[in-house]
């Protein structure tokens, strides 16, 4: 019984994990290895991860007084990849380099003028960027797309926009783009290399994150521990377990509802995070229903009910922990949040081990 349960966790873990890390990555720790396909020198470019949730990496360098080299790398999802240069930080009025690879395998890299958010006003082969003749290249390699170009400019715009098109939907032969799947607005200080991400609704996103983190990812673990380690005090364990879990559930549900608001107001694409979140919500509802219809203590089926309740609860917690870390990643919140939550988990883990040892000593 135990072994199969652990096996179920392991399978879940590896499935979810492999789907999260499936795309090939390009790290700033490694040099570009594009075998002479880029028509300019790429060895000493500065490198920054510029959009961690979409895994975009930008390399750049001022190579001559008025010549700036850029190489953007992104996972290739059969969608267009774009980098825009904006004076205001907004899409409208900016110019962008947009690339994709059609079915024939010959990549296309074009400048666009972004006249409005409406795709009809996004015009190919126009824009304010002075692209150096014969400096552009587009390469698809190891599931990543690299777009390279040089600009003839004294100082490029520091407001850089990035976008990615809908998956498996490359532009048709008229080169017209459809609405992007996701986008981000950043500011790059070319001298210091410092990068800031400008994202609206930060507070809303963080409240969503904190509610879910505390509800599903901390309180529910404490509630599960209450059921396991307070058993000798009946019925205290029962009331503490059910009230703690109910509190966690209500916080978690509020967090999920805020998640929908965030998704809607940011027009964000967070499909995996949302799918895992919905699954957690369903498991949470199942637990509440199971609690309401629990058989009496003496009933024969109570043993099976206990197993069911236990397994669903454990899967819920494992998925919640994964989705919290993944949500911090998707929200580009950086390592501080991951470390903070990791420390809380570690403390809960140490307390759990201590209580476990005590429990085994007693029995």
Residues that bind ligand NAG (CB under 6 A): 66-67, 132-134, 152
Question: Between residues 68 and 76, which has the closer beta carbon with respect to ligand NAG?
Answer: 68
Q: Which residues pair with 255 in a beta bridge?
A: none
**Tokens 């608001």 found at:** 261
Is there a contact between 72 and 139 (Cβ–Cβ < 8 Å)?
no
Distance CA 276, CA 61 (A): 40
Question: Between residues 110 and 183, which has the closer beta carbon with respect to ligand NAG?
Answer: 110
Question: Between residues 155 and 335, which has the closer beta carbon with respect to ligand NAG?
Answer: 155
Strand arrangement of the beta sheet that strand 67-75 belongs to? 46-51, 56-64, 67-75, 144-152, 137-141
Question: Between residues 25 and 152, which has the closer beta carbon with respect to ligand NAG?
Answer: 152
Q: How far is the CB of 125 from ligand NAG (least distance, A)?
A: 16
Neighbours of 68 (CB within 10 A): 19
DSSP H helices, 184-292, are: 202-214, 220-229, 236-266, 271-292
Q: How far is the CB of 131 from ligand NAG (least distance, A)?
A: 9
Q: How far is the CB of 71 from ligand NAG (least distance, A)?
A: 18
The structure tokens listed for 342 are 């990791």
Total residue count of the chain as it appears in this document: 363
Is there a contact between 147 and 71 (Cβ–Cβ < 8 Å)?
yes
Q: How far is the CB of 175 from ligand NAG (least distance, A)?
A: 21
Question: Between residues 67 and 311, which has the closer beta carbon with respect to ligand NAG?
Answer: 67
Distance CA 21, CA 18 (A): 5
**Tokens 């498996």 found at:** 168
The phi, psi pair for 80, rounded to 5°, reads -75, 155
Q: How far is the CB of 146 from ligand NAG (least distance, A)?
A: 20
Question: Between residues 132 and 147, which has the closer beta carbon with respect to ligand NAG?
Answer: 132
Distance CA 96, CA 345 (A): 43
Is there a contact between 203 and 145 (Cβ–Cβ < 8 Å)?
no
Question: Between residues 136 and 245, which has the closer beta carbon with respect to ligand NAG?
Answer: 136
Q: How far is the CB of 105 from ligand NAG (least distance, A)?
A: 20
DSSP state of 131: B
Distance CA 328, CA 7 (A): 27
DSSP state of 23: S
Q: How far is the CB of 150 from ligand NAG (least distance, A)?
A: 8
Q: How far is the CB of 67 from ligand NAG (least distance, A)?
A: 6
Distance CA 191, CA 283 (A): 50
Q: How far is the CB of 140 from ligand NAG (least distance, A)?
A: 22
Angle of helix 202-214 relative to helix 302-330, nearest 10 degrees, comes to 150
Question: Between residues 52 and 62, which has the closer beta carbon with respect to ligand NAG?
Answer: 62
Question: Between residues 135 and 242, which has the closer beta carbon with respect to ligand NAG?
Answer: 135
């Amino acid at each position: 019984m135990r072994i199969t349960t652990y096996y179920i966790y392991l399978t879940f873990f590896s499935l979810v994990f492999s789907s999260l890390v499936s795309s090939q990555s390009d790290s700033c720790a490694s040099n570009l290895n594009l075998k002479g396909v880029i028509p300019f020198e790429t060895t000493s470019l500065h490198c920054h991860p510029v959009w961690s949730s979409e895994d975009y990496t930008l390399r750049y360098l001022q190579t001559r007084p008025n010549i700036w080299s850029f190489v953007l790398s992104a996972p290739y999802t059969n969608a267009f990849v774009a980098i825009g240069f904006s004076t205001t930080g907004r899409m409208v009025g900016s110019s962008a380099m947009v690339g994709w690879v059609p079915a024939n395998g010959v990549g296309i890299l074009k400048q666009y003028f972004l006249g409005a958010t409406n795709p009809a006003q996004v015009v190919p082969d126009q824009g304010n960027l002075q692209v150096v003749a014969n400096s552009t290249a587009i390469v698809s390699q190891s599931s990543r797309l690299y777009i390279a170009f040089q600009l003839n400019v004294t100082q490029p715009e520091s407001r850089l926009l990035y976008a990615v098109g809908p998956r498996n939907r490359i532009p048709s032969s008229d080169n017209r783009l459809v609405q992007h799947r996701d986008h981000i607005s950043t500011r790059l200080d070319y001298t210091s290399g410092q990068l800031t991400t400008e994202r609206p609704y930060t507070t809303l996103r963080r409240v969503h994150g904190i509610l879910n983190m505390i509800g599903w990812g901390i309180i529910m673990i404490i509630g599960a521990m209450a059921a396991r380690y307070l058993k000798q005090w009946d019925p205290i364990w029962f009331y503490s377990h059910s009230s703690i879990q109910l509190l966690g559930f209500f916080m978690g549900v509020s967090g999920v509802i805020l998640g929908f608001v965030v998704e809607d107001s940011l027009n964000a694409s967070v499909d995996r995070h949302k799918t895992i979140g919905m699954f957690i919500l369903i498991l949470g509802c199942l637990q509440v229903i199971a609690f309401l219809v629990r058989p009496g203590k003496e009933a024969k089926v109570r043993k099976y009910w206990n197993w069911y309740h236990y397994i669903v609860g454990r899967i819920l917690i494992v998925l919640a922990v994964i989705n919290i870390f993944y949500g911090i990643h998707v929200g580009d919140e950086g390592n501080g949040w991951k470390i903070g939550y990791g420390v809380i988990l570690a403390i809960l883990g140490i307390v759990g081990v201590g209580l476990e040892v005590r429990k085994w000593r007693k029995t």
